[in-house]
Amino acid sequence: MNDLAGKHIVLGLTGGIACYKAAELCRALVKEGATVQVVMTEAATHFITPVTMQALSNRPVYGSQWDAREPNNMAHINLSREADVILIAPCSADFMSKLLHGAADDLLSLMCLARPIDSVPLLIAPAMNREMWDHPATQRNRVQLQMDGCTVLGVGTGDQACGETGDGRMLEPQELLQDIIAFFQPKVLVGQHVVVTAGPTFEAIDPVRGITNRSSGKMGFAIARAAQEAGAQVTLVAGPVSLPTPRGVRRIDVQSASDMHLACVDTAQEATIFIATAAVADWRPLQVADQKIKKDGSGQPPTMTFVENVDILATVARSPRAQGGALYCVGFAAESHDLLAHATAKRLRKGVPLLVGNIGPATFGKDDNALLLVDANGSRELPHNSKLVLARQLVSEIAARLK
């Protein structure tokens, strides 16, 4: 899957040590299918060479507005007209000021000024010392650039080349890559607040043992990412998994079904969409031993009494907000057989408008899946694909149903 296939990105580099990250970013953009045209300021060439960027982009690097390689000597026009987006990474404090005031004394600034505003978006990834980033002038420039239609990506926090620590680092290449991919996704959930549950739960037996399942959480995390890409505010309630949190998503980590129930009831109060992807344990031990349960030599396992966990999806679906239409609920069913029959029955039992079924043993821990959408009108398959592609398709389905 190449998320940027067919996209042409002009990657601008300004002066700063973060230029070393631009090399990895360029490579990542190309691997995702984009063509990348690098444009460098004179200051940028003091930190990384045009030869390096040419090797990574497989295209000649531009640096001068008087570049004779352009037959009409108008590189600022030609390069900007070809772009799907202009991304400046790193973007120095000085260059932010130039963009704000419309200065155009080099090729990159001239190209940004000459770009067709309505069809060629401008994205910048700031990179500077923490004091420079916090300076009122820089923050005024950031706000005004956003008001002028520029997308200002965030900054990282941590160690800086000067030896200080704080805000102002350029985001890491993989973070920027995700932001660029998200930028191109259709914004079908703007204004929505989506709560997604993901992963297994863990029901403790004693301090070292418990009952869980094989859910990896990958489908739920993909849905959280897809919803955020679609413009929604996203809260991810995650069971015990080690997956990285998707960009821009608020994450709440839980362990047991009871923990997840409390988190979901709380977050659903402000949500407009609730997607229950998690594989929640149906049962838990009535009592949890204070110490590890030891074998007694009899060969017999210890006797345990189990109690049923609260049905999280059914509880949220029966809430006044869901019943009144303010909260759209989507359930998931991981089955081992007879998927349509079980998913149909589960949808009615849970009282949700949409139930998504899949064969659990065929997808647990994997990066791909196949989904079956079941609603009051019947069922429809989403054929086998990566979980992220399926998540985006599901988000589009939900958005269409909300309309």
Where does residue 190 rank: exposed (0-12), middle (13-18), buried (19+ CB within 10 A)?
A: exposed
Contacts 24+ apart (CB under 8 A), 374-381: 374/340, 374/343, 374/344, 374/347, 375/347, 379/340, 379/343, 379/344
Q: Which two tokens stand for residue 92?
A: 């120095």
Catalytic one among 150, 162, 264, 329? Answer: 162
Q: Which two tokens stand for residue 392?
A: 């985006």
Contacts 24+ apart (CB under 8 A), 367-373: 367/218, 369/219, 372/339, 372/340, 372/343, 373/397
Residue 162 annotated in active site: yes
DSSP code of residue 35: E
Q: Could you write out the three-class secondary structure of 208-263?
A: CCEECCCCCCHHHHHHHHHHHHCCCEEEEEECCCCCCCCCCCEEEECCCHHHHHHH
Alpha helices for 271-386 (secondary structure H): 312-317, 320-323, 339-350, 360-363
- The set of catalytic residues is 162
